[in-house]
């Protein structure tokens, strides 16, 4: 079906980061982008987030690392990666050739480690921004920054001091009041707040009386968590002025539009990259048609236009 | 630690398409062969590579499933068919929960007569435009797929994985347990000089003799043995209950084959696909006879394209350590001596 839509403006501004369109791909669901180049025209995407990088190499968790659940995927990969030095040496030269902004997802065990990662990545050609993964449920340490507003503020502010790169903070939904943590990220100077990382969960084989994941518990993603993510975007949009990036179960164009209307300035396609690898590119192609249907000429005009009931 | 990504390890020839089922026929107990039109995939895929197949338009099951190439064929039906519009353009919006189940999908497909045919000369055949995969019905995806009828659509992406490298040997010994037989028909046809695969078509050394040691639970599960026999493959069968062939483990057939090969002075190579315990045993037997052995791992996968890091297996490195390797892009074919079982 050919979509004829009037010219429209897809660009969005996330603090100091300007993107040609709001369709990004989430860290940990797109490899290092190179794996996807035959399946997706990478230059069409608004932004690419490679798999989270840590200061030192991590082998990751023992299998099983993922379990499919009802409309979802439970994972406990454990930040399997080669460490930042190898990332800069082995992956950045390729990523720097892409026309699409590359936002590097980093995770540290301590605030100092986040700062060191930022220092190391700051001068590297091709790095358009940093996403602080203060919310990975599968490594000890990571989730604490995302659960405590003051700690979140501290880590964002510390990174802010050592780089002029745009800094995004990716938060966990596994907290009582996510808006409080988002306020911390805003106070720390985040250019954007990404909502949400995975929801803690578990899967069990009762016949063998064993947990299915090697790490026992893991993070749930996929369509099953979309309502949780929308709720988080809604609550945080009411609490902060910082632009939001919606993540959680986005699998089609309706999902994208729901997040934009609810208050996200951009979105990340995550688990859907696993089961529909060319989706992100098709979403970029189809977005103008949906904007036309919504009666707006730009993405910006749609963001946060959710009406109250009654 | 984890090795760097190198170009060959990427899914660098893969494309994604919504494809139309051309045939879906029962081959044996709980075992079916589905054929769909997908010219780019059919031309590019090589033996031992796989594709991801997903029931389009639903969230249950959510993920695709990896299925090995059984064969790439030329099907006149695929040639006539105009390519279906991609799911992308026609159904970007969320679908009703039942949309993916066709009203006629509950009928069982008829027992098929469709044959995989092999031209006498590799060069005279028209370019393949359709792909056959053989699957065992055992879960949520396959129990639905078995009811699919010609004309229904699937989402498919591939080719994926490294596939079998050309086998330099005078005697190729293929060992399969159950549904693990599926990668071997194309491998045998290629090495017997009957078919070529890949784009450009790859050259493989001609093998004088191919032996297929095929184990299954019982005779009813043995699928498409005649496809192998038609190629001139020597088929040796073992079943758990003795209902056909030898009663017992297929690995004992491997031992006998290798022992016999030793007496005639050939230098066999072993390729193996099936349950992990069986592959470990086969690898040990091959090592006893100093026969090179490759295994096709069937580690559970989520994406099949190297981005999720689910399907890792412990693979030994040159320094005596091991690292988790992604079976989907760094395998699924590994040298057996590298596997930390």
Q: Which CATH class is domain B171-296?
A: alpha beta
Mean pLDDT, chain A, as a whole number?
A: 95
When pLDDT is averaged across residues A255-280 and rounded to a whole number, the result is: 98
Would you state the pLDDT for residue A140?
57
pLDDT of residue B94 exceeding 50: no
pLDDT bucket at B93, cuts 50 / 70 / 90: very low
pLDDT bucket at A219, cuts 50 / 70 / 90: very high
DSSP secondary structure code for residue A79 in this structure: -
CATH level 3 topology of B12-91+99-158: Elongation Factor Tu (Ef-tu); domain 3 (2.40.30)
A171-175, B152-156, B321-325 — which is least confidently predicted? B321-325
H helix or E strand, kind and range, residue B255: helix B250-264
pLDDT of residue B109 exceeding 80: no
Which residues does chain B have within 8 Å of residue A71's beta carbon, measured at their own beta carbons?
Answer: 59-60, 62
Distance to chain A for B95, nearest Cα, Å:
10
Would you state the pLDDT for residue B113?
41
Strand B209-216 versus strand B234-239 pairing type: parallel
Q: Do A38 and B13 touch (CB under 8 A)?
A: yes
Find out whether the peptide bond into A231 is cis, omega within 30 degrees of 0. Answer: no
Strand A264-269 versus strand A23-25 pairing type: parallel
The CATH 2.40.30.10 domain(s) of chain B lie at: 12-91+99-158
Percent of chain A with pLDDT over 70: 96
Better-scored residue on pLDDT, A26 or B60 = A26
Which residues does chain A have within 8 Å of residue B324's beta carbon, measured at their own beta carbons?
Answer: 59-60, 80
Which residues does chain B have within 8 Å of residue A57's beta carbon, measured at their own beta carbons?
Answer: 1-2
Would you state the pLDDT for residue A41?
97
Distance between CA atoms of residues A285 and A128, nearest Å: 23
Q: Do A1 and B323 touch (CB under 8 A)?
A: no
H helix or E strand, kind and range, residue B213: strand B209-216
Would you state the pLDDT for residue B114?
44
A61-65, A232-236, B10-14 — which is least confidently predicted? B10-14
* ipTM value for the complex: 0.93
pLDDT bucket at B57, cuts 50 / 70 / 90: confident
Q: Among B66, B91, B303, pick the best mutation site for testing chain A contact (most A Cβ within 10 A).
A: B303
The CATH 3.40.50.80 domain(s) of chain B lie at: 171-296
Residues of A marked as catalytic = 136
Query: What are the sequence ranges of the domains in chain A?
Result: 12-61+77-199+222-302
Burial class (CB in 10 A: 0-12, 13-18, 19+), A161: exposed
Distance between CA atoms of residues B46 and B167, nearest Å: 13
Distance to chain B for A65, nearest Cα, Å:
5
Q: Do B64 and A275 touch (CB under 8 A)?
A: yes
Which tens digits make up the pLDDT trace of A27-81? 999 999 999 999 999 999 999 999 999 999 998 999 999 999 999 999 999 999 9
* Residues B302, A213 contacting (CB under 8 angstroms): no
Q: Do B305 and A276 touch (CB under 8 A)?
A: no
- The closest of A270, A269, A273, A257 to A305, measured between CA atoms, is A257
Mean pLDDT, chain B, as a whole number?
A: 87
> How many other C-beta atoms can be found within 10 angstroms of the C-beta atom of residue B117?
11
From its phi and psi, is residue B57 left (phi > 0), alpha (psi between -120 and 50) or beta?
Answer: left
Distance between CA atoms of residues B192 and B135, nearest Å: 25
- Right CATH number for A12-61+77-199+222-302 from 3.20.20.70, 3.40.50.11540, 3.30.360.10, 3.90.1200.10? 3.20.20.70
Would you state the pLDDT for residue B224?
96
- The closest of A230, A221, A225 to A260, measured between CA atoms, is A230
Distance between CA atoms of residues B267 and B173, nearest Å: 10
Which tens digits make up the pLDDT trace of A123-159? 999 999 999 999 876 665 555 788 999 999 999 999 9
pLDDT bucket at A15, cuts 50 / 70 / 90: very high
When pLDDT is averaged across residues B306-331 and rounded to a whole number, the result is: 92
Instruction: Tell me how many residue pairs between chain A and chain B have CB atoms under 8 A apart.
Output: 148
DSSP secondary structure code for residue A27 in this structure: T
């Amino acid at each position: 079906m050919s979509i004829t839509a009037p010219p429209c403006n897809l660009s969005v501004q996330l603090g100091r980061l300007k993107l040609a369109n709001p369709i990004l791909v989430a860290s940990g669901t797109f490899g290092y982008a190179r794996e996807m180049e035959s399946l997706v025209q990478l230059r069409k995407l608004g932004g690419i987030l490679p798999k989270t990088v840590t200061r030192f190499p991590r082998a990751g968790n023992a299998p099983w690392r993922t379990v499919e659940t009802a409309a979802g995927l439970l994972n406990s990969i454990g930040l399997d990666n080669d460490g930042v030095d190898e990332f800069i040496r082995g992956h950045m030269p390729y990523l720097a050739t892409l026309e699409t902004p590359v936002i590097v997802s980093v995770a540290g065990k301590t605030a100092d480690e986040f700062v060191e990662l930022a220092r190391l990545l700051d001068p590297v050609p091709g790095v358009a921004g940093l996403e602080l993964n203060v919310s990975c449920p599968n490594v000890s340490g990571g989730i604490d920054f995302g659960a405590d507003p003051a700690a979140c503020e501290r880590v964002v502010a510390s990174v802010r001091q050592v780089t002029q790169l745009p800094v995004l903070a990716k938060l966990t939904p596994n907290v009582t009041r996510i808006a409080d943590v988002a306020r911390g990220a805003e106070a720390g100077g985040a250019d954007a707040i990404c909502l949400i990382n995975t929801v803690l969960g578990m899967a069990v084989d009762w016949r063998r009386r064993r947990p299915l994941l090697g790490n026992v518990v893991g993070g749930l993603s996929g369509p099953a968590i979309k309502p949780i993510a929308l709720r988080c975007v809604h609550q945080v949009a009411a609490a902060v002025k910082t632009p939001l990036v919606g993540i959680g179960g986005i699998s089609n164009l309706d999902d994208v539009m729901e997040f934009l209307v609810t208050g996200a300035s951009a979105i990340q396609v995550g688990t859907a990259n696993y089961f529909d690898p060319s989706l992100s590119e098709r979403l970029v192609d189809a977005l103008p048609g949906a904007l036309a249907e919504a009666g707006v000429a730009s993405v910006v005009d749609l963001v946060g236009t959710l009406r109250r009931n009654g | 630690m984890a090795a760097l990504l190198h170009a060959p390890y990427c899914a660098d020839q893969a494309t994604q398409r919504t494809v139309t089922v051309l045939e879906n026929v029962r081959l044996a107990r709980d075992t079916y062969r589905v054929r769909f039109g997908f010219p780019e995939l059919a031309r590019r895929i090589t033996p031992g590579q796989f594709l991801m197949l997903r029931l389009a338009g639903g969230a249950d099951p959510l993920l695709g499933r990896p299925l090995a190439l059984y064969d790439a064929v030329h099907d006149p039906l695929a040639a006539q068919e105009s390519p279906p519009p991609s799911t992308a353009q026609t159904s970007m919006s969320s679908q009703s929960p039942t949309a993916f189940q066709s009203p006629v999908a509950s009928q069982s497909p008829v027992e098929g007569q469709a044959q995989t045919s092999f031209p006498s000369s590799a060069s005279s055949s028209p370019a393949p435009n359709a792909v056959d995969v053989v699957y065992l019905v055992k879960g949520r995806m396959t129990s639905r797929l078995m009811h699919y009828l010609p004309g229904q659509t699937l989402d498919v992406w591939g080719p994926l994985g490294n596939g079998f490298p050309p086998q330099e040997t005078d005697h190729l010994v293929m060992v399969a347990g159950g549904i693990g037989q599926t990668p071997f028909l194309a491998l045998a046809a290629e090495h017997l000089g009957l078919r070529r695969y890949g784009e450009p078509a790859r050259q493989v050394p001609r093998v004088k003799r191919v032996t297929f040691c095929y184990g299954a639970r019982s005779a009813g599960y043995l699928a498409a043995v005649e496809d192998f026999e038609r190629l001139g493959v020597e088929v040796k069968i073992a079943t758990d209950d003795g209902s056909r062939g030898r009663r017992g483990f297929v690995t004992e057939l491997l031992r006998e084959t290798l022992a016999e090969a030793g007496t005639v002075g050939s230098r066999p190579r072993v390729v193996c696909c099936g349950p992990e315990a069986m592959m470990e045993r086969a690898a040990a037997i091959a090592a006893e006879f100093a026969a090179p052995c490759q295994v096709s791992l069937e580690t559970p996968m989520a994406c099949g394209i190297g981005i999720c890091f689910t399907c890792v297996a412990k693979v030994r490195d040159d320094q005596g350590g091991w690292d988790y390797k992604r079976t989907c892009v760094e395998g699924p074919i590994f040298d057996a001596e590298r596997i930390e079982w």
